[in-house]
Homo-oligomer: A and B are copies of this chain.
Amino acid sequence: MHIPQQAILKEVGPRDGLQNESTTISTDDKVEWINHLSETGLTYIEITSFVHPKWIPQLSDSLQVAKQIKRKPGITYAALVPNQKGLERALEADMDEVSVFMSASESHNQYNINKSINATFPVLQQVVSEARAANKSVRAYVSTVFGCPYEGEVKLEQTLRVCDRLFDMGIDELSIGDTIGVANPIQVENVLTTLERYYDKNAIALHFHNTRGTALANVLTALQCGYATFDSALGGLGGCPYAKGASGNVATDDLLYMLSEMGLTTEVELPKLLQAGEFIQNKLKKSLPSHQMQMVNKGGIT
């Protein structure tokens, strides 16, 4: 099996995970949790989102969180920004990287951002340009690449059009999202072998959700296609707003288990990750759904 020797895990639990959790986590607990995560070997943590507080009340303390965490050298601390206003706050928070986002499907973009795809481009262009002028690296999320909750199938040309525009804006990395967790390995192979004709594999991350249990099979396919950067959330935190009760992001701990057993190096230490998982599930007052955390919780093999 020809796969990369190393993988990069980008932890999105504090943002993509927590934004889908209904139990409010205090600012102090978020800060303590992110500080825990900083000690696990992770090199990238998306800590919050600078969206308007009314959109995501859970993350309304983004500025305080960003200012209070202990920054560890070597770790990129990133945050989501939807627009110019969000960027201003992210710059005030001195984030290392900002992430913009949009969808490959028109209706999901409209629902999520309240703009058409065409109307989104200039907004993101301004954010990207100003972030770069401020010496920040920029990541862009493209949602619904593998399926849309409103439109179903999403044509690859829709994704390519959005990716083209985002790279033209000057982003450093693109994160390709299976927002509703419908992707299958054949589809992943089709999408990734097409993308590689146009873009550098090292500039693309995969953002899989485990809604239907296929996330690790999709990760495996991405590795076989030569891609090595994966977004994940510790413990499989978060959920899917389009499938109540379903799993959220692929779990960092389950992903790390598979990658480590396959011999890939990641720099992340599973025992420390599981301790950080225990911390946040205590605060959330619920068991995290990942397989590794289930085993921790039930006193089994770790």
Contact = CB atoms under 8 A, between A and B. Distances in A.
Contacts of A229: none
A245 B184 contact: no
Contacts of A284: none
Interface residues of A, number: 42
Interface in A194-236: 210-214, 216-217, 219-221
A98 interface: no
A41 interface: no
A214 B298 contact: no
This protein's copies in its complex: 2
A219 B217 contact: yes
Given A187-B261, A189-B1, A261-B187, A294 B216 contact: no
A262 interface: yes
Interface string A284-302: 0000001110110111110
Nearest to A300: B243
Given A213-B254, A291-B210, A292-B212, A300 B219 contact: no
A113 interface: no
B245 A212 contact: no
Nearest to A183: B261
Contacts of A242: 300-301
